[in-house]
């Protein structure tokens, strides 16, 4: 059996850490090392990690000064011994057979990356009965790196941008690391790894549980840190341009424009002045979103600008239908 390195960055999650670690230790697949990186957590997380390590020899604990999620994951990558690597955030959980399914599919397909889908939950009580019954038959399809990279930017559900919920051959990661000091770090990391893969297996089932944590960065008040998302996409656009992958570049630019439009509206509501290089007009943002998102989401962003705008938009749609005789 191949060794899997499970990397878990730990910071201020003492309420959630037991559920996370227990979900890993209770795996049907046992040949793994669990790397817990205590990223200078000010609560009891460091001691909790040490306690787990004393009870299970597969656990290694690293204590370091707080450097952020990217720095913690990079520390784990630097010491990982496994043939494969997977990431689990410390407030999330994985299905009981997650690692088993990952390794079996990787062995059957020789894929460099195995991609699983995820289930969202808010509270540990939601975990009861959350996972599909353990299956002996695995449903998956193989995708090439070009289509997989394009799918990342097209927002297809089977190819999420998240670093978690995937199994990577350690060799395909190589020296690639997460950008330290940035948020939306997955946006900079995952596309390059997918592009380096010789084959990607996409599972047709959930193996990862993503917790809605209202204290997380992506759920906090809007700030200019969110523009790290655009920065990360720009880094990948330059990478794909250098490799002559213009179809992927076009998909990435479309996603960039949609995010930039959303952020222009959210920044306006929050009273935040965007960085100069990311400023766009409100008119441009509205036009971009109208062409790119569902009517429901478009009306939501209109409502962010002004609560009466969705009514104006609906009235305009009715007039158009009357003119067309619908």
* 6 token code pair: 């499970």
Of the residues 189, 218, 247, the one at which a domain ends? 218
Residue 47 · residue 77 · CB < 8 Å: no
* 43 token code pair: 């609560």
Do 129 and 260 fall into the same domain? no
Do 212 and 233 fall into the same domain? no
pLDDT of residue 176: 97
DSSP result, 35-76: EEEEES-SSSHHHHHHHHHHH-TTEEEEEE----HHHHHHHH
Of the residues 218, 245, 260, the one at which a domain ends? 218
Beta partners for 121?
A: 211
pLDDT of residue 309: 82
The domain in which residue 204 lies consists of 4-218
3-class SS of residue 228? helix
**Is the model's pTM score more than 0.85?**
yes
H, E, C per residue of 243-256: CCCHHHHHHHHHHH
Q: Which residues of the chain have pLDDT under 70?
A: 125-129, 132-138, 214-220, 315-326
How many domains does the chain divide into?
2
Do 201 and 233 fall into the same domain? no
Residue 60 · residue 85 · CB < 8 Å: no
Do 155 and 30 fall into the same domain? yes
Do 209 and 253 fall into the same domain? no
Do 73 and 155 fall into the same domain? yes
Q: How far is CA 195 from CA 24, 105, 158, 172, 239, in A?
A: 28, 19, 16, 9, 10
Of the residues 218, 239, 273, the one at which a domain ends? 218
Check which CATH number belongs to the domain holding 24 and give it: 3.90.550.10
């Amino acid at each position: 059996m191949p060794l899997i390195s499970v990397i878990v960055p730990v910071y201020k999650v003492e309420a959630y850490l037991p559920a996370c670690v227990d979900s890993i230790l209770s795996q049907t697949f046992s040949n793994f090392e669990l790397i817990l990186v205590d990223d200078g957590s000010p609560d009891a997380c460091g001691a909790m990690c040490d306690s787990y390590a004393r009870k299970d020899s597969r656990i290694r604990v690293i204590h370091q000064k707080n450097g952020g999620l990217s720095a913690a994951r990079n520390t784990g990558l630097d010491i990982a011994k496994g043939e494969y690597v997977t990431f689990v955030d410390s407030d999330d959980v994985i299905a009981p057979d997650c690692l088993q399914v990952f390794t079996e599919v990787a062995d059957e397909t020789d894929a460099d990356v195995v991609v699983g889908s995820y289930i969202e939950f808010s509270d540990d009580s939601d975990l009861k009965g959350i996972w599909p019954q353990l299956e002996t038959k695995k449903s998956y399809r193989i995708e090439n790196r070009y289509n997989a990279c394009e799918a990342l930017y097209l927002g297809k559900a089977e190819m999420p941008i998240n670093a978690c919920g995937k199994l990577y051959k350690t060799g395909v990661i190589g020296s690639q690391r997460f950008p330290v000091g940035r948020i939306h770090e997955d946006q900079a990391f995952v596309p390059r790894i997918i592009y380096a893969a010789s084959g990607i297996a996409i599972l047709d089932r959930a193996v990862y549980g993503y917790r809605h944590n209202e204290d997380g960065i992506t759920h906090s008040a809007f700030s200019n840190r969110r523009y790290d998302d655009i920065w990360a996409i720009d880094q990948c656009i330059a990478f794909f341009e250098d490799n002559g992958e213009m179809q992927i570049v076009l998909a990435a630019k479309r996603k960039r424009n949609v995010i930039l439009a959303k952020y222009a509206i959210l920044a306006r509501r929050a009273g935040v002045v965007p960085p100069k290089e990311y400023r766009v007009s409100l008119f441009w943002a509205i036009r971009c979103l109208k062409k790119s998102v569902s009517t429901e989401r478009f009306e939501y962003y209109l409502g962010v600008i002004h609560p009466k705008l969705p009514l104006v938009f609906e009235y305009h749609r009715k007039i158009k239908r009357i003119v067309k005789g619908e």
